[in-house]
């Protein structure tokens, strides 16, 4: 979340910057400042009341020692009133602080100056494009029909077992899925990311820490009895490793990668554009997460973008990179680059990775700090990216690599699959 001090000092700049998100932040910001003033006033009154009560308590002790019990008893009555007053002030302070926190949770991150203005994905800026779109023969099939033809993904069986959006991978389909996971993890660890395995369930504090709560509460699967959430991405548990942690400057850079299944309700997702692997409730993803010194975070973001470029080049998939506009930018991100692969059979671009710098937004929620050279605590910067999300990468491979007699496997994956063709 945004820092209160920044809101106090840079109110007008923040309001102006949030216009890129098509958000009129004036009411929220004004409410925050009013509540902050109320909270500070209550804190001051409470401090004064406690100080007066403590002073009287010392005076009462002296009076009793001097044999002035009557005077001491008069002061005791006064301290009793002060204690009741301090209790009421403390309750009011707690309520104001909670209300202030909830308001701050409603304000998205301030976009980076390079974020283009815009309302929808149509306004995103294409910043890079590479790869030749293959010319498929007449009768080329979309991946959901290829999956059925070669019996490698069974959407109906998944619907029987669980429901729509939970496919069953079979035979060479399952092996290709496992090959992609291993390949992505190997590429990431070779690039200096430490592999880590994390829980697939998180508590509420973790959801708030990375900003999925309360913003994406409706998209997360919640286990009410235990008050736990199925993770929508490995970003949540991996980044929360550093919740309430104070780092040293020598700890940077921190780089992790992890594979997890991901769970998203995707409420309201219907239509042809979500067929097959295009939109799932459960899917596999390999994530990269970085914790960086603020002065190095945008250099780190460029490095993450370059790393994912290299993976897609090795897979020989046509791809492009978009800089998201303010209206399409995620709630917690300051700057996001989306990677898309071209689905030849569907004749459309499919998002397969988002790479984001959150600057101090998540760190402020997480209380993730470091000691600078002067020993002063500062907020770190956090970043994450999909490296990569499997369903649409798999869809791109099936569709772009299809031939008249089967589906070729990208050369770089053959050592992982143990086969070079699905037929």
Handedness of CA 275, 281, 284, 289 (dihedral sign): positive
State the pLDDT at residue 67.
79
Give me the phi and psi of 274, to 5 degrees please: -110, 15
Chain-centroid distance, C-alpha 62: 58
Percent of the chain with pLDDT over 70: 98
Give me the phi and psi of 231, to 5 degrees please: -70, 140
Q: Is the pLDDT of residue 312 over 80?
A: yes
Largest CA distance in the chain: 107
CB-CB contact of 339 with 319 (8 Å): yes
352 labelled ligand-binding: yes
Give me the phi and psi of 220, to 5 degrees please: -100, 145
343 labelled ligand-binding: no
Cα distance between residue 263 and residue 250, in whole Å? 35
Give the pLDDT band (50/70/90) at residue 34: very high
Q: Residue ranges of the alpha helices (H) in 169-290?
A: 171-190, 204-210, 235-239
Cα distance between residue 345 and residue 400, in whole Å? 7
State the pLDDT at residue 327.
96
DSSP assignment of 123-190, as one string?
GPEEEEEESPPP-PPTT---HHHHHHHTT-EEHHHHHHHT-TT--EE-HHHHHHHHHHHHHHHHHHHH
Note the pTM of the prediction, 2 decimals: 0.92
Cα distance between residue 405 and residue 420, in whole Å? 13
In the chain, the domains with their CATH numbers are 4-105 (1.10.287.40), 121-422 (3.30.930.10)
265 labelled ligand-binding: yes
Could you report how far apart the first and last alpha carbons of the chain are, in Å?
51
Cα distance between residue 330 and residue 336, in whole Å? 8
Peptide bond into 395 cis (omega under 30): no
State the pLDDT at residue 38.
97
CB-CB contact of 233 with 262 (8 Å): yes
Q: Is the pLDDT of residue 272 over 80?
A: no
CB-CB contact of 300 with 95 (8 Å): no
252 to 133, 286, 296, 315, 356: CA distances (angstroms): 40, 22, 9, 31, 18
CB-CB contact of 324 with 274 (8 Å): no
Span 300-313, mean pLDDT? 98
Tens of pLDDT, residues 85-130: 999 999 999 999 999 999 999 999 999 999 999 999 999 999 999 9
CB-CB contact of 227 with 197 (8 Å): no
353 labelled ligand-binding: yes
266 labelled ligand-binding: yes
Span 199-206, mean pLDDT? 98
Cα dihedral 197/200/204/210 (nearest 10): 50
Q: Is the pLDDT of residue 138 over 70?
A: yes
351 labelled ligand-binding: yes
Tens of pLDDT, residues 45-61: 999 999 988 888 888 88
Query: Shortest CA distance to 39 belongs to which of 85, 95, 82, 107?
Result: 95
Tens of pLDDT, residues 246-260: 999 999 999 999 999
Helix (H, G, I), strand (E, B) or coil at 358: strand
């Amino acid at each position: 979340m945004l820092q209160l001090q920044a809101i106090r000092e840079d109110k007008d700049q923040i309001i102006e910057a949030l216009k890129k998100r098509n958000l009129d932040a004036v009411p929220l910001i004004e409410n925050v400042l009013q509540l902050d003033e109320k909270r500070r006033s209550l804190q001051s009154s409470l401090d004064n009341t406690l100080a007066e009560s403590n002073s009287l308590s010392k005076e009462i002790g002296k009076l009793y020692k001097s044999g002035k019990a009557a005077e001491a008893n008069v002061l005791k009555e006064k301290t009793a009133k002060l204690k009741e007053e301090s209790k009421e002030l403390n309750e009011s302070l707690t309520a104001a602080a909670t209300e202030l926190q909830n308001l701050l949770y409603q304000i998205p991150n301030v976009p980076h100056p390079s974020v283009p203005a815009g309302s929808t994905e149509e306004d995103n800026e294409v910043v890079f494009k590479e790869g030749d779109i293959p010319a498929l023969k007449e009768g080329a099939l979309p991946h959901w029909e290829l999956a059925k033809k070669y019996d490698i993904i069974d959407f109906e069986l998944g619907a029987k077992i669980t429901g729509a959006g939970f496919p069953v991978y079979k035979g060479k389909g399952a092996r290709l899925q496992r090959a992609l996971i291993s390949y992505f993890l190997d590429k990431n660890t070779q690039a200096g990311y430490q592999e880590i395995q994390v829980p697939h369930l998180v508590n509420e504090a973790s959801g708030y820490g990375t900003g999925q709560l309360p913003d994406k509460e409706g998209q997360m699967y919640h286990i009410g009895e235990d008050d736990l959430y199925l993770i929508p991405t490995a970003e949540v548990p991996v980044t929360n490793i550093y919740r309430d942690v104070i780092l040293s400057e020598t700890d940077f850079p921190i780089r992790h990668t992890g594979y997890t299944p991901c769970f998203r309700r995707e409420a309201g997702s219907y239509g042809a554009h979500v067929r097959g692997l295009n939109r799932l409730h459960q899917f596999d993803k390999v994530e990269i997460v970085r914790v960086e010194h603020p002065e190095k975070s945008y250099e780190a973001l460029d490095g993450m973008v370059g790393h994912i470029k290299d993976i897609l080049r090795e897979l020989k998939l046509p791809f492009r990179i978009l800089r998201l506009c303010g209206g399409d930018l995620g709630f917690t991100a300051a700057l996001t680059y989306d990677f898309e692969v071209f689905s030849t059979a569907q004749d459309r671009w499919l998002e397969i990775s988002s790479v984001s710098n959150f600057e101090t937004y998540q760190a402020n929620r997480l209380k993730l700090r470091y000691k600078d050279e002067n020993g002063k605590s500062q907020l770190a910067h956090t970043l994450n990216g999909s490296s990569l999300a499997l369903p649409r990468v798999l869809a791109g491979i099936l569709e772009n690599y299809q031939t008249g007699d089967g589906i070729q496997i990208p050369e770089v994956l053959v050592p992982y699959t143990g086969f070079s063709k699905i037929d």
